[in-house]
Chain A
Amino acid sequence: MIEAIAQQPILAALIALVGLGILFGALLGFAAEKFKVEGDPIVEQIDELLPQTQCGQCGFPGCRPYAESIASGDAINKCPPGGQATINSIANLLDVPAPELDAEHGEEADLRTVAYIREDECIGCTKCIQACPVDAILGAAKLMHTVIANECTGCDLCVEPCPVDCIDMLPVQETIKEWHWPAPPTTADLIASDRSPSAIGGPQL
């Protein structure tokens, strides 16, 4: 038998290859079972990285649905509130190249904003309350409404439904405690701009 195989090089090669295939397949299968990683499901991990503004700018009704969609292969660059930082970390998680933010869904804002209701104009229609995804607006029918600034994610979903346009999105001012040093300018920028190094990096009063 062995001799017969040895005399048939093609058969020998075939048997060897098939044999190796079966062996490694079994090994891989065993390893997959044995060393199975019980981690967070990927949707959870993506959802962790999304900014949770629940703004729907991505086209999904909230961050989690978008996370689910990413997990099943959707583009990762549809989240303007998260901006490039979020895209980078999702790309890092999924081990894919990080694309630029898709401008179709909006632009990355420099400052965080919160909704502010001009209270003397509010007619108490409760439409914004229904629109708010995080229940951050307080009020009742025919009574003035107000935004709990700390709970507001700045999604601006309440702006559109307001029949009297009394909701403004105001930028949140940085407090002195939140302030931190900007990154120093790069040398190439410095020399190109021909300014003294210390003049950049901060306001010159």
Chain B
Amino acid sequence: MKTWVTPGGVHPPENKHQSLTMPIATLPLPEKLLIPLSQHIGTPAVPCVEVGKKVLKGQKIAEANGPLSVPMHAPTSGIISAIEHRPIAHSSGMLAPCIEITSDGRDKWKKHDGFEDVENATPAALVKAIGEAGIAGMGGAGFPSAIKLSPGYQRPIHTLIVNATECEPYITADDSAIRERAAEIIEGIGILSHILGNPSNIMIGIEDNKPEAIAALEPHVVDTGISVVSFPTKYPSGGEKQLIYILTGKEIPSGDLPADIGMVCVNIGTTYAVKRAIVDGEPLISRVTTMTGDACGINRNYETLIGTSVSHMLANSEFNQDGCSRLVMGGPMMGFSLTSADVPIVKTTNCILAPSYEEIPEDDPAQPCIRCGMCAEACPVSLLPQQLFWYSQADDHERLEAHNLFDCIECGACSYVCPSNIPLVQHYRHSKGEIQKARAEKVRSDHARERFEFHQQRIEQAEKDKEAKRAARREAAEQAKAKAAASPDKSASTAGGGAADIIAAAQARAAAKKVSPEQQQAKFERSIAGAEMRLQMAEEKLADAGEGQTDEQNNILTAAVEGARQKLEQAKGRLAEHIKQHNGEQVD
């Protein structure tokens, strides 16, 4: 079958054999499992259990929040032991809301049934079941599968592409899953095809470095209309856009989705999860994850429960921390470094890489860019990485966008080949973040401007209304005066006396309001005392909070302390100024 060739690309050492020597295994059941509420693109799920509640394996513990979200399920039976912020696998090392389950060791399933008659089930019902099973794209991005599979009537799907490329070095999760579960994968593809209205073209895209997997798939695709298409190995062929181009020669217009040109592309791991969800009624609670790297004595694939901590996995793989140069979730090209091993495996985790210093040494400091253009040669989307680098350093956001920064897929090919060791991808990520932040700020400032203008308008209106009322009153008073003039003798004396009374009263009020400098000083001193007390209280609160609190709460308390301290300073300043002023007056 004809395939197309993408521009650029690199050929890093594959290092896939290490983890393929043994079949997929299961890890001993961990004591605790930590399920982050956001393992997918979209809004985080909302917990539907309380701490202390007993759950069975496969039971739903968090509901999808809106359409762009997926529910979470208990990976094993046990007790919900915490719902709080915990470190998750994220480049920032920040905390995110998680549900912790303490296993009861019985691993007892809830009652579950699949569809009895898949062929006659409506696509809508199947999509709903896939959504309920919590399936999100398992290739890395984690896009909710149910959304991908319901592209809408305006976009009929003619091509279904199953991504078995697995172009990243080291990772063999898909490869080993295909070898052992080809029949189920093909069954899953059949279900997807049924949902999408039997697209005319169904292809499994796979690199030619996986002959065993191709051989495993081939007997199962006979007479199914599915074709297994292999193509030369090159990184990054497994990017969705790249794979679609390789298999069909078509490009997805920038900013569009594959569905816009009648295609759907799913990861092969997702098809297996779909089969489990539809045929067996099992939600997504485990996945195949590769454990590899020379810092581990055992390199192999595990069927891992979602929520298993990385350290549990390492502990069962003869991990040698001293020999480990970094800990990577994902592959060596696009994976992100973990700052701690106490983070859970999630639905998108296809690999844990623990390389030795020989395999992946520390990065050398960056040398100057000599514009050699190797990065441009390697770029799979034909950007000019070196230009982007210059503009990124200069924070020239307009130029960055003009050079299509947002079409960068962050594959890392440019940094891989850069002879000057420049961390190009990090520069791009930084700039993308800055631009997005600036955009958000723009939205916010536009909103603030609108509100400010409305506020101004309102004040003006109020002022006008007041003016109008005043004018009306004046008129009424004049009329009354005119009336009084008509009958002068009686009302004149009362009017005069009344006015004098009013003036006297006003003067008395003013005198009462005027405070002596001593009183003023006393007031300032009181406010200092008050501020001191508040500062003390805030500090105590912070001290009490101690370690039991999350960072966020701690930050709020720290900020409160800081605020109180500033207040105190201000109060002291005011007093000092007052004294100075007052003394000055005395000297005068």
Interface residues of A in 38-60 (CB under 8 A from B): 47, 50-54
**B91 smallest CB distance to A (angstroms):** 7
Indicate if A202 sits at the interface (CB-CB under 8 A): yes
B452 near A52 with CB under 8 A, answer yes
Closest to A178 in B: B437
Stretch at the interface among B118-126, B151-159, B279-287, B442-450: B442-450
**Alpha-carbon distance A151/B433, docked complex (angstroms):** 23
Q: Does B464 contact A (CB under 8 A)?
A: no
B451 adjacent to A203 (CB under 8 Å): no
Return A138 CB to nearest CB of chain B, in Å: 13
Beta-carbon contacts under 8 Å, B255-297 to A: none
B83 within 8 A of A: no
Mask, B503-539, CB within 8 Å of A = 1, is 0000000000000000000000001001100100000
In chain B, positions 353-374 with a C-beta closer than 8 Å to chain A are 362-368
Chain B residues with Cβ below 8 Å from A7 are none
Given A170-B563, A173-B555, A197-B365, A184 contacting B427 (CB threshold 8 A): yes
Knowing A190-B365, A191-B365, the reply to whether A203 touches B93 (Cβ < 8 A) is yes
Number of interface residues of A (CB under 8 A): 44
A50 to B437, CA, bound (A): 15
> Which B298-348 residues have C-beta < 8 A from chain A?
326, 339-340
Min Cβ gap B449→A in Å is: 5
Question: Smallest distance from the beta carbon of B13 to chain A beta carbons, Å?
Answer: 21
Complex: A182 Cα to B567 Cα, angstroms: 33
**Residue of B448, B455, B559 with highest tally of chain A CB at under 10 A:** B448
- A168 surroundings in chain B (CB, below 8 A): 559-560, 563
Name which residue of chain B comes closest to A134, CB basis.
Answer: B451
Indicate if the CB atoms of B559 and A47 lie closer than 8 Å.
no
Interface: A63 (CB within 8 A): yes
Q: Which A-chain residue is minimally distant from B429 (CB atoms)?
A: A181
The yes or no answer to B407 lying at the interface (CB within 8 A) is no
Judged by a CB distance under 8 angstroms, whether A100 is at the interface is no
Q: How large is the interface on B (under 10, 10 to 19, 20 to 34, 35 or more residues)?
A: 35 or more
Does B501 make an interface contact (CB < 8 A)? no
Chain A residues, CB < 8 A from B363: 197-198
A32 on interface, CB distance cutoff 8 Å = no
Q: Given A50-B445, A204-B339, A179 and B451 touching (CB < 8 A)?
A: no
Inter-chain contacts of A133 with B (CB < 8 A): 452, 455
| B474 part of interface (Cβ distance < 8 Å) | no
Interface positions, chain A 76-134, Cβ under 8 Å from B, are 85, 132-134
Whether B563 pairs with A181 at a CB distance below 8 angstroms is no
Give the shortest distance, in Å, between B247 (CB) and chain A (any CB): 32
Contacts of A205 on B, CB cut-off 8 Å?
93, 339-340
Shortest CB-to-CB span from A203 to chain B, Å, is: 6
User: Taking the complex as formed, is A146 at the interface, i.e. its CB lies under 8 A from any CB of chain B?
Assistant: no
CB pair B365 A134 closer than 8 Å: no
B454 — which chain A residues lie within 8 A by C-beta? 135
A158-196 vs B, CB cutoff 8 Å, 1 = contact: the mask equals 000000010011110110101111111011001100001
Give CA–CA (A186, B367) in the complex, Å: 9
Q: Is B339 in contact with A176, judged by CB distance below 8 angstroms?
A: no
Closest to B96 in A: A176
- Report the separation of the CA atoms of residues A184 and B446 in the bound assembly, to the nearest whole angstrom: 31
* B362 and A169 form a contact (CB under 8 A): no
Task: For B96, list chain A residues within 8 Å (CB).
Answer: 176
Rounded to whole angstroms, the CA-CA distance of A180 and B363 in the bound complex is 21
Q: Is B423 interfacial (CB 8 A cutoff)? A: yes
Contact of B449 among A63, A132, A197, A198 (CB under 8 A): A63
Residues of A close to B430: CB separation below 8 A: 180-184
* B436 on the A face (CB < 8 A): yes
* B432 touches A (CB below 8 Å): yes
Any A CB within 8 A of the CB of B51: no
In the assembled complex, which residues on chain B have CB atoms less than 8 Å from the CB atom of A198?
326, 362-363
Contacts of B556 in A (CB 8 A): 170
Q: B448 to A135, Cβ gap below 8 A? A: no
Tell me if B552 is interfacial: C-beta within 8 Å of chain A: yes
Per-residue interface assignment for chain B, residues 431 to 475, with 1 indicating a CB less than 8 Å from any chain A CB and 0 otherwise: 011101110110011111101111110100000000000000000
The 8 closest A-B pairs by CB, nearest first: A180-B433, A52-B445, A52-B448, A134-B451, A181-B429, A168-B563, A179-B92, A205-B339
7 A-B contact pairs sorted by A residue (CB < 8 Å): A51-B445, A153-B444, A170-B563, A174-B94, A180-B429, A198-B326, A205-B340
10 additional A-B pairs beyond A52-B444, A173-B555, A179-B433, beta carbons within 8 Å, are A133-B455, A136-B451, A170-B560, A170-B563, A176-B88, A179-B91, A179-B92, A180-B430, A183-B427, A186-B366
